[in-house]
Structure 1
Amino acid sequence: MKYYELVAPCHMGLEAVLKREIIDLGYDITEVADGRVSFQGDADAVCRANICLRTAERVLIKIGSFTATTYEELFQGTKALPLDEFIPKDGKFWVTKASTVKSALFSPSDIQRVMKKAMVEGMKEACNTSIFPEDGEEFPIRVFLYKDEVTVALDSTGVSLHKRGYRRLESQAPIAENLAAALIMLTPWHADRILIDPFCGSGTIPIEAAMIAANIAPGVHRSFNAEKWTHLITPKNWADVRQECEEEVDLNVVTDIQGYDIDPSVIEIARINADKAGVGDLIHFQTRDVADLSHRKKYGFIITNPPYGERIGDKSNLYSLYRTLGQRYKALDDWSMYMITSFEEAQDAIGKKADKNRKIYNGMLKTYFYQYMGAKPPRRKDRTND
């Protein structure tokens, strides 16, 4: 059985959540760095990580690493990589993305050009041939340079893992699916607790919560680059993991997950997306203004991605919106609220400083995940009218 060093990139600030996911899948962590977690795994692990990880961006199979401060060192280090152990003679390969941080080599396009040439030369020697038709399956390669350490890896995923396949329709500036899942997993919410998103948009947070509640693997119904790499991972590997995931789904789980939005057309989009995800019956969507947010029960959760500067033009309107959210939250009985935003005056508008906040980079945008902790409910046997 062959083992690989696997690398899973994620949003910066969410490495701990992804690390916990990988450990829960049964794999050993080898490194945690800014924006990525590395672990050991076999062919099944490539399948399981792609299909099951909720918070990762993709799953990469590490080919090798070396130090390079000049383009000559980059060429020679790349040429020496064991590419032939991963890519067949007819494989089409290229550097689909190069990123560089605190390194002497800083031009992605030059790095891509030099490495492609070096890869061809290395494959020529390894395969004892002078011609590469590159008319077979595709093997996109991703490269990271950090403090002159070059890491080279195959992209086993393809389209980013946040693309679950259910969000065919979108509202304005929707939150990424993997980020939504990570926010939920940063809270103590469980399927038996109430969850409301008063700014649900196309439904991503409620849908991800329902998928977690029903134990639906996020990638079970989509495809991946590595499914075509049958010399590395067999169709049986994929089929076994998918079957295992399907057997663990529980659509009979009892939930109280709700999504509100002021725009009825957006609510209709959310319903369509939830049905596509297979969780339409687990979520109640409703056209409702945040000013009407209420619930008679105790110990619920608000988890939300409200509008902020990039999505709403008038700052005074934005402040008023957050102030209303704060007022409605205050009226709820022993609830918790978790909110991601880049609006700098959010806490002031809410009217209360968050118990905790966590810095998360949503792409290049710095946001904060504000966490307002409500009281813990009593043990279930002691609950009466909650």
Structure 2
Amino acid sequence: MAKYEFIAPCHFGLEAVLKKEILRLGYEIIKVEDGKITFTGDSDAICRANIFLRTTERILLKIGSFHATTFDELFEGTKKLPWENYIPQNGRFWVTKATSIKSKLFSPSDIQSIMKKAMVERLKEKYHINWFQEDGADFPVRVTLMKDEVVVGLDTTGASLHKRGYRQATVKAPITETLAAALILLTPWNRNRILVDPFCGSGTFPIEAAMIGANIAPGMNRSFTSEKWTHLIPKKEWYDAITEAEDNIIRDCEMDIQGYDISHDAIKASMENARLAEVDHLIHFQQRALQDLSHRKKYGFIITNPPYGQRLDSPEEMPELYRDIGTAYKNLDSWSMYLITAYEDAQRYIGKKADKNRKIYNGMMRTYFYQYLGPKPPRREKREENNH
């Protein structure tokens, strides 16, 4: 069976979470870099990685890499790659995205058109034809130039993996599903612990937590570009991966996950999205102001994405909002709180320095994941948790 190299991009600062996920699937890590991980696997890794990985944006099948500082070198380097091993004679192929960082070649549109010409030249020679019908399956190519090193991959995914398929109803500036899942996996939360999101928006944190707790694979209910690559991936491998995902679901679990928001529309959107994700029975959503946040049980988790004061809200409202967060947290004796925000003065107005602070880039926006660690539950309660 052919061995392939795959590239899985992720948010800067969350590489360790993705690495753990890939290792858990049983694949070998080749390289960990800022914002991406390279690993190896057979063709079934295309199916399993797309269906099971929660924290990557897409899975790229690596075609090759080379050095290029001129467009001639880019053309020749692209032409040398074994495109005929991947793209059939009737395949529809194009460079869907070119990213250039600290490289002499920096015009995405020029990079895209030169690489397409080089691919055509290579395939003309290999297939002995002058014109391509391009009426078969899609083969979108993505290329990254970093310090003049060109890395070329076929996009096996299509629409980004954060598009699980459940988020039909949205509110303004929602957190992406992949980022929400990665942040939850950074915490010690598990399905036996309480989780509350007091700014739940369209429900992403509670829904991702419920899917993690019930072991529901995030890519189960969507399609992928590479499903049509039957010359590389037998259909059976997709069926096997879906069967594996179905078998892994914990169907009888109960969880205490709650999503609150002051907005009626947000709660409506959350409930609809949870229903589409088939986890609505595991989450309680309620319209509730932050000031009313309380819980009778101990050792719970707040995991949330409060307003930042950028794009959305009046900056002058931020101090009061973060003071309210601090007050609400103070009243939850023995809880842990994890919040992601771009608001620089968050700790100051919360009134307490975070135990841990992790810098994470959400797109181009620098955000901080503040981690306030509550005490661990006593051993007896832990035993009870494990027995559930």
Task: Say whether the 8 Å CA contact 1:94–1:116 is kept in structure 2.
Answer: yes
2:231 matched residue in structure 1: 231
Displacement of 1:64 in angstroms is 0.8
How far is 1:5 from its partner? 0.2
RMSD: 1.3
| TM-fit CA distance, 1:126 | 1.7
Alignment of structure 1 residues 148-167 onto 2, 5 Å: 148-167=148-167
1:122-168 residue CA offsets vs partner (Å, 9 max, x unmatched)? 11112222221112111000001111111110000000000000001
Kept in 2: contact 1:261–1:267 (CA 8 A): yes
Residues 240-251 of structure 1 mapped to structure 2, 5 A cutoff: 240-251=240-251
Equivalent position of 1:212 in the other structure:
212
The CA distance in 1 between the partners of 2:259 and 2:381, in whole Å, is 29
Equivalent pairs counted in the alignment come to: 385
**Alignment partner of 1:187 is 2:195:** no
Question: What is the rounded CA distance, in whole Å, between the counterparts of 2:38 and 2:90 in structure 1?
Answer: 29
Identity %: 64
Q: Normalising to structure 1: TM-score of the pair?
A: 0.98
Question: For residue 377 of structure 1, what is the aligned residue in structure 2?
Answer: 377
* Matching residue of 1:79: 79
Contact kept? 2:214, 2:251, Cα under 8 Å: yes
Distance change >3 Å, CA 380–CA 230, structure 1 → 2: farther
Counterpart CA distance in 2 for 1:145 and 1:292 is 50
Which segment is superposed worse, 303-312 or 230-239?
303-312
Matched, 1:21 2:5: no
Q: Distance in 1 between matches of 2:254 and 2:157?
A: 33
Question: What CA distance in whole angstroms lies between the structure 2 residues aligned with 1:34 and 1:169?
Answer: 32
Following the alignment from structure 1 to structure 2, what is the Cα–Cα distance between the partners of residues 383 and 39?
37
CA contact (8 A) 2:307 2:313 kept: no
Secondary structure, counterpart of 1:23 in structure 2: helix
SS in 2 for 1:348: helix
Shift of the alpha carbon at 1:312?
3.4
TM-score (norm 2): 0.97
Q: Is the 8 A contact 1:56 1:178 kept in 2?
A: yes
Q: Is the 8 A contact 2:210 2:257 kept in 1?
A: yes
CA distance in 2 between counterparts of 1:381 and 1:197 reads 23
Alignment of 1:1-386 (within 5 A): 1-380=1-380
Contact 1:97 1:141 in 2 (8 A): yes
Do the aligned partners of 1:297 and 1:333 also contact (CA within 8 Å) in 2? no
Quote the Cα distance in structure 2 between the aligned partners of 1:63 and 1:113: 18
**1:247 partner SS:** helix
Give distance in 1, aligned partners of 2:189 and 2:296.
18
Structure 1: how far apart are the matches of 2:228 and 2:144?
24
Instruction: Give the letter for the 2:275 counterpart.
Output: D
Paired residue type of 2:317? N
Runs of 4+ residues over 4 Å off in structure 1:
381-384
Name stretches of at least 5 consecutive residues in structure 2 with no aligned partner: none
SS at match of 2:369: strand
Letter in 1 for 2:18: L
Structure-2 change in CA distance of 1:20 and 1:119 (3 Å): same
**Structure 1 residue 102: deviation in Å?**
1.4
Within 2, Cα distance between the matches of 1:212 and 1:289?
Answer: 27
Secondary structure in 1 aligned to 2:99?
strand
- Decide which moves more: 303-312 or 111-120: 303-312
Kept in 1: contact 2:98–2:144 (CA 8 A): yes
Amino acid of the residue matched to residue 122 of structure 2? G
Q: 1-side partners of 2:383 and 2:63: how far apart?
A: 54
1:380: Cα distance to partner? 3.6
List per-residue Cα deviations over 1:269-299 (Å, max 9, x = no partner): 1011001101000001011000111111111
State how far apart, in whole Å, the 2-side matches of 1:298 and 1:381 are: 11
For 1:266 and 1:100, how far apart are their aligned partners in 2? Answer: 38
CA shift, 1:382, in A, is: 7.0
Query: 3-state DSSP class of the match of 1:347?
Result: helix
